[in-house]
Amino acid sequence: MGETKTQITDEKLAQVRVNAQVTIGLNFMGAGRFEDALKGFDRALADDPDEPRALMGRAIALARLARFDAALEAATELISRDPESGRAYDTRGAIYQMMGKWREAEIAFEKAIALEPHNAAHYYNYACYWARRLDAERCRHHLAEALRLNPGSNIFAATDIDFALYRDDPWFQDLVAFK
């Protein structure tokens, strides 16, 4: 019986490194360690400057560090590389929202939804936007659509601080009810 050997190329190794660094970055993001997350994403981008997960992670980590100009630059780079990416526009919207640039955030969220109308996350994030803007009707509308597309999002909505103002309202309780 002959041995089967798998050849590991430099390209495969580089992709494994990129995936590992993106995973490290995402894990640090989840732990709230945004500076460490940024380092992971930057290492991934050093190996593959076109890695979209690393570009998006970088943009979000920079925004969490309140480095908004750099965050917007990273989101804009992501959009320029993939102008049909709703996630890229959603990221831009989130950054503008953190900056208090409400109209720009609204435009970005609307673009995300227009590009990917079946992505529940875009509606959910837009619902959070409207909650922060104290517009209960628009918040309800977008949250309802997010939950229609992904009923499991009710777990997040039930405890999301963005919806704290509406948590006791009957419309909110009906939407997030566990059925």
Residues 54-99: tens digit of each pLDDT: 999 999 999 999 999 999 999 999 999 999 999 999 999 999 999 9
**Model-level pTM?**
0.86
3-state secondary structure of 101: coil
Query: 136-163: per-residue pLDDT in tens?
Result: 999 999 999 999 999 998 999 999 999 9
The answer for residues whose C-beta is within 8 angstroms of residue 51's C-beta and 6 or more apart is 18, 22, 44, 45
Neighbours of 31 (CB within 10 A): 10
How many Cα atoms occupy the beta-carbon half-sphere of 164 within 13 Å? 3
Rounded Cα gap, residues 5 and 2, in angstroms: 9
Neighbours of 50 (CB within 10 A): 10
One-letter amino acid at 110 equals: E
Domain boundaries, the chain: 11-101, 118-179
For domain 11-101, the CATH architecture is: Alpha Horseshoe (1.25)
